């Protein structure tokens, strides 16, 4: 389990010790067995290549988010296409280099793809690590490979299960379920780099 402390209004987060935390399991207080401070964060950004190219209007916000990360954050950029994650930039703490990997999505030409299958592919290929790991999925959430299954893709549950088993801290999907044109990246990302 990962705990993230966030400071208020541009202040440093408070120091949280093992004694400051209470853990409850099935309504019973349980002892915290171990407490470590994670220095490094590996942030994988997966962009759905089936998104409308208008989403690139938000890349300046995403680049600003990359630039705001501390040197201990390593960022990779990949594009979800045909059920796989196509790596554009491997993990680097050179945030300008990661930002250079951002490009226009292909759009409708990569239809019949599933962002969830690509996410599973990415999780399977990323090396295991004791460091903190997060994935940021930028997608409409529409599974073109499986079709429209209402509010939940059949691949979503297995993706969430895999993320929990491999201890990814966050599995964020930035864009709305029915189209990314109106989605704003920056409001969701503000404060996300603080831990």
Considering only CA atoms, give the Rg of the chain: 18
pLDDT of the residue at 12: 75
Other C-beta atoms lying within 10 Å of the C-beta of residue 103:
14
Other C-beta atoms lying within 10 Å of the C-beta of residue 147:
11
Tens digit of pLDDT per residue, the chain (195 long)?
A: 566 677 787 777 777 777 888 878 888 888 877 776 677 888 999 998 888 888 888 899 999 999 999 999 999 999 988 888 999 999 999 999 999 999 998 876 555 677 888 888 888 887 777 788 888 888 877 766 666 555 555 666 666 666 666 555 544 444 433 333 333 333 334 334 433
Query: Measuring CA to CA, how many Å separate 49 from each of 79, 104, 108, 112?
Result: 6, 8, 8, 11
What contacts 180, CB < 8 A, 6 or more positions away? 51, 52, 54, 55, 138, 139, 140
Provide φ and ψ at 101, rounded to 5°: -80, -10
pLDDT of the residue at 66: 94
Give the residue carrying structure tokens 């964020």.
172
pLDDT of the residue at 188: 39
Q: Using DSSP, state whether 142 is helix, strand or coil.
A: coil
Residues 174 and 135: beta-carbon distance below 8 Å: no
Closest CA to 75 of 118, 44, 39, 46: 44
Considering the entire predicted model, what is its pTM?
Answer: 0.70
Query: Measuring CA to CA, how many Å separate 195 from each of 16, 53, 70?
Result: 11, 32, 10
The angle at the Cα of 128, spanning 113 to 157, to the nearest 5 degrees, equals 40
Kindly list the structural domains of the chain, giving each domain's residue range(s) and its CATH number in brackets, ordered by start.
38-189 (3.40.50.410)
Provide φ and ψ at 165, rounded to 5°: -70, -35
């Amino acid at each position: 389990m990962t705990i993230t402390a966030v400071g208020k209004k541009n202040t440093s987060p408070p120091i949280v010790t093992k004694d400051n935390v209470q853990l409850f399991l099935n309504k019973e207080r349980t002892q915290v067995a171990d407490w470590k401070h994670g220095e490094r964060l590996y942030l994988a950004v997966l962009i759905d290549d089936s998104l409308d190219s208008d989403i690139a209007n938000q890349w300046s916000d995403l680049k600003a988010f990359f630039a705001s990360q501390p040197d201990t954050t390593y960022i990779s950029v990949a594009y979800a296409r045909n059920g796989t994650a196509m790596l554009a930039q491997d993990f680097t703490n050179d945030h300008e280099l990661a930002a250079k990997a951002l490009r226009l999505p292909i759009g409708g030409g990569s239809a019949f793809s599933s962002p969830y299958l690509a996410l599973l592919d990415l999780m399977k290929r990323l090396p295991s690590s004791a460091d903190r790991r997060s994935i940021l999925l930028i997608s409409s959430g529409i599974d073109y490979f499986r079709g429209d299954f209402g509010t939940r893709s059949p691949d979503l549950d297995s993706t969430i299960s895999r993320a929990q088993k491999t201890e990814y801290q966050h599995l964020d999907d930035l864009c709305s379920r029915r189209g990314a044109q109106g989605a704003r990246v920056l409001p969701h990302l503000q404060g996300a780099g603080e831990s």
